[in-house]
A and B are shown apart, each in its own frame.
Chain A
């Protein structure tokens, strides 16, 4: 029985580890500036995790194999443990675990402990059940005033944009996020109703959109293309359908897009969505 259990434990360990090792199912190719460092931290962590997992399981298998009761005379080893080993083991694990936690702060800090760099492209994001609205400031770079009392679904004014505000004249609102490649982007995240979450796997980024808050985040996407945008916080009945796209455009193409008037903007977005395909390694 002990040997059978050891073999099963080792086989399950091998199977589990190889699922991570062959990488048949893995992260999609990253496109953001912070992603390489994050992927490296993930790799270091998963190696530590894999080694610790394997060591513990191999050890467990070894114990049940080696110390199975074979019916021979004699008794088990009589010991109550070793304080020195306990202290040593505690110190080793504390150093490794807390070391990982400290290392794991750097990408986080680079994204969250700083304001968006000057010259970032700002987009106001307004999420709702089960739809994304991206509010572009237009040529003047100043977004028009919004007010929830002005929201009118019948005129497609989903974010309550105040048309009377001069700053709103050149604004565009679209369900797709179009951002420039290689330039920092600042999102101002809001929600009209419940909590949503902005998640693009290729960005290695995620942030809740909380009603009553305007959460500012920033990142830089480098590879032009069309990427799926998901809501990753349970937001109700059709949560699983709250999908949109993030278009990362070459800077000139993006500059041209954002200079367009509201109607031309919509037409151009339709063209761009057709032009860019989802990445093959999705």
Chain B
């Protein structure tokens, strides 16, 4: 078998530590930096979720360690409601922005998009470095928000990750809503800028830097997903950035974009005493701006997971992706429709009920391309010869969880049914399963799958499988019961459920969910151990350990600084030519110039 190459000028790798690992312009190093950032952020987010569950299940308990760490938020170790709410806010913000947007796109996208299209690097390497470091600054700022809210207490903003105005716009609306809230907005604004720079880079790279033969319809589905995600980010983040700036102006420059007149807060009328005069703003405007970003953001979080899942299912089922073209259209349809459904977050906001009707029908329409994807994943498995690696298990888990979480969108997307379900636990149950856990399963699959390429060593499969089984069962135990809590009517964002008689019957479920959450979080230690241990001690991996077809498997593990050691690969085939009848092996690399995809003669015993 011969492989054609295009010879290009070779860029030497930088040698200094700082240029190589810190302010690197190598997309691979930047990808790993993004993943590391997400790995740190997700620990912070998970610890916060455990603290929240502890407070909900065992209210009034003394946790001395909390008192030491957060003397303002948990005096004497007893969590205050405002501390609970700042955990809610920070958990949501950190998870959505610094985990679900960084790892799938900035992390794996950065590392593998250029390699999979046969490029030496991103189109704008310096811009790429900047996007990471801007994002990193955003993360530092968000961490300061929870520790800073004036002199007396350590409580962050309490408005939730959606930061609805005017609660978020008025510094006197509660503890943590002062400087903590400013920092929260500034952090998100910084994050928006980082994501915009990244999105520009992804789009340019994909459109301009594909190697010879890599036509659009020969790209792996991962690349389609990262590309669509970048387009979504490019169009949605500016709106959030604009909204955030207006919100900040309302707070510090006393404008009134989101604050109406005549407000009376904490015993003071707007325009009297120390409460500045505001008039003429619209609280609902913030919701439109926020959700115009917020809904595409959901797809920004999950599309890369979908791409990775398609890629991994095909590889380990040893089959071409079923309906590749339909999958590409489905990704586009989800991306496009994703811009016209934001109003389903606002049915009961006071928005026109006629708009609500339109948003509802568009929302349920987005279920169609989602169903097409599920159908094609099952089609890809059908007739396969499935190899159950840890990566494959997590990809299969993604399919299961995507269905479990996505399908309740059919309930929440209906205007009438939103009347009882809105802002109950049904909503966090739905979106945690689909945009939270399913996306994370996509990233676990990606990690176990690409780790050998990134570090030249395997992760431990035994530990990986144990991690999979407990996590998979654990997340079902956490999030399925939350749906029934929502049906009973349990409102979300309550610091305690002790105030309402009708919530008392749910206590056993609340405790069950908390225990499941604590166990599931603890099991993630296995993953962290496996990850860092394997970087140094894992079994050595060859160039193409999974017998996969795409370009990242044609170069060394890990790839050299310029990805293909001075050559650019030339592509002859589609991305998922597995089990081609008559081919010598059960996979044909994209670069394989000799293999005939349509021919029936080969060396597998059938042709002779």
Q: Residues of A with Cβ closer than 8 Å to B? A: 1-2, 5, 8-9, 12, 15-16, 19-20, 25-28, 38, 41-42, 45-46, 48-49, 52-53, 56-57, 59-60, 63-64, 67-69, 73-83, 85-86, 89-90, 93-94, 97-98, 100-109, 111-113, 128-129, 148-149, 151, 153, 160, 192-195, 197, 199, 201, 204-208, 210-213, 215, 228, 230-241, 243, 278, 282
Contacts and interface: CB of A to CB of B under 8 A. Distances in A.
Given A2-B388, A38-B416, A76-B383, 4 more contacts: A12-B473, A26-B484, A105-B414, A108-B415
A247 to B, nearest CB: 15
Interface of B: 81-82, 85, 158-160, 164, 166-167, 170, 173-175, 260-267, 269, 281-284, 317-326, 348-350, 353-354, 356-357, 360-361, 363-365, 367-368, 371-372, 374-376, 378-379, 381-388, 393, 396, 399-400, 403-404, 407-408, 410-411, 413-420, 422-424, 465, 469, 472-473, 476, 480-481, 483-485, 487-489, 491, 493-497, 499-502, 504-506, 509, 578-581, 586, 604-605
Interface centre among A53, A57, A59, A194 (most CB of B within 10 A): A194
B400 to A, nearest CB: 6
A212 B491 contact: no
Given A67-B384, A97-B368, A211-B260, A53 B396 contact: no
A149 B495 CA distance: 33
Nearest to A282: B502
Nearest to B281: A212
B164 to A, nearest CB: 6
Given A28-B489, A41-B417, A149-B269, A210 B283 contact: yes
Contact of B488 (A27, A107, A111): A27
Contacts of A45: 410-411, 414, 417
A1 B391 CA distance: 13
Nearest to B166: A194
Given A19-B484, A194-B170, A236-B158, A49 B381 contact: no
Given A81-B379, A201-B489, A90 B323 contact: no
B396 A5 contact: yes
A2 B386 contact: yes
Contact of A89 (B265, B371, B473): B371
B351 to A, nearest CB: 9
B167 A206 contact: no
B85 A79 contact: no
30 contacts: A8-B473, A27-B488, A28-B489, A56-B378, A56-B407, A64-B388, A67-B384, A75-B385, A78-B580, A79-B383, A81-B322, A86-B323, A86-B372, A90-B368, A97-B368, A100-B410, A101-B414, A129-B265, A192-B265, A193-B166, A194-B166, A194-B167, A205-B420, A206-B348, A206-B422, A207-B348, A210-B283, A212-B283, A234-B85, A282-B505
Contacts of B361: 98, 101-102
B382 A12 contact: no
Given A49-B410, A79-B319, A94-B368, A63 B586 contact: no
Contacts of A69: 318, 385-388
Contacts of B260: 211-213
Contacts of B469: 8
B441 to A, nearest CB: 13
A266 B535 CA distance: 72
A46 B411 contact: yes
A176 to B, nearest CB: 15
A238 B581 contact: no
A148 B262 contact: yes
Interface centre among B173, B348, B403, B469 (most CB of A within 10 A): B348
B417 A59 contact: no
A104 B356 CA distance: 11
A170 to B, nearest CB: 25
Contacts of A238: 81
Nearest to A17: B480
Contact of A233 (B164, B265, B416): B164
Contacts, number: 356
B359 to A, nearest CB: 10
Contacts of B417: 38, 41-42, 45, 104
Given A42-B417, A201-B420, A239-B494, A128 B411 contact: no
B491 A232 contact: yes
Given A104-B417, A201-B489, A67 B381 contact: yes
A16 B424 CA distance: 19
A213 B350 contact: yes
A193 B265 contact: yes
Contacts of A52: 403, 407
Contact of B500 (A74, A109, A228): A228
Contacts of B413: 101, 104
A61 to B, nearest CB: 9
Contacts of A97: 364-365, 367-368, 371, 410
B319 A78 contact: yes
A111 B411 CA distance: 18
A55 to B, nearest CB: 9
Contacts of B579: 75-78
Contacts of B488: 25-28, 201
Contact of A148 (B269, B472, B605): B269
A26 B487 contact: yes
B348 A151 contact: no
Contact of B159 (A49, A231, A234): A234
Given A26-B484, A93-B371, A49 B411 contact: yes
B88 to A, nearest CB: 8
B419 A80 contact: no
B166 A53 contact: no
A260 to B, nearest CB: 28
Ranked nearest first, the 6 interchain pairs of A and B with the lowest CB-CB distance are A212-B260, A104-B414, A77-B383, A201-B489, A81-B323, A112-B353
B350 A210 contact: yes
B414 A5 contact: no
A228 B501 contact: yes
A114 to B, nearest CB: 10
A93 B368 contact: yes
A112 B387 CA distance: 54
B263 A56 contact: no
Given A12-B473, A97-B364, A237 B320 contact: no
A282 B322 contact: no
A57 B476 CA distance: 13
Nearest to A231: B491
A104 B487 contact: no
Contact of B411 (A42, A193, A206, A213): A42
B316 to A, nearest CB: 9
Contact of B415 (A15, A104, A236): A104
Contacts of A109: 353, 357
A241 B158 CA distance: 15
Contacts of B396: 5, 60, 64
Contacts of A278: 501-502
A209 to B, nearest CB: 8
A9 B491 CA distance: 30
Contact of A104 (B416, B499, B505): B416
A195 B283 contact: yes
Given A80-B320, A228-B501, A241-B499, A236 B472 contact: no
A208 B416 contact: no
A199 to B, nearest CB: 7
B360 A105 contact: yes
A113 B166 contact: no
A195 B259 CA distance: 11
Contacts of A113: 353-354
A215 B284 CA distance: 13
Nearest to A211: B260
Contacts of A240: 81, 493-497, 499
B192 to A, nearest CB: 23
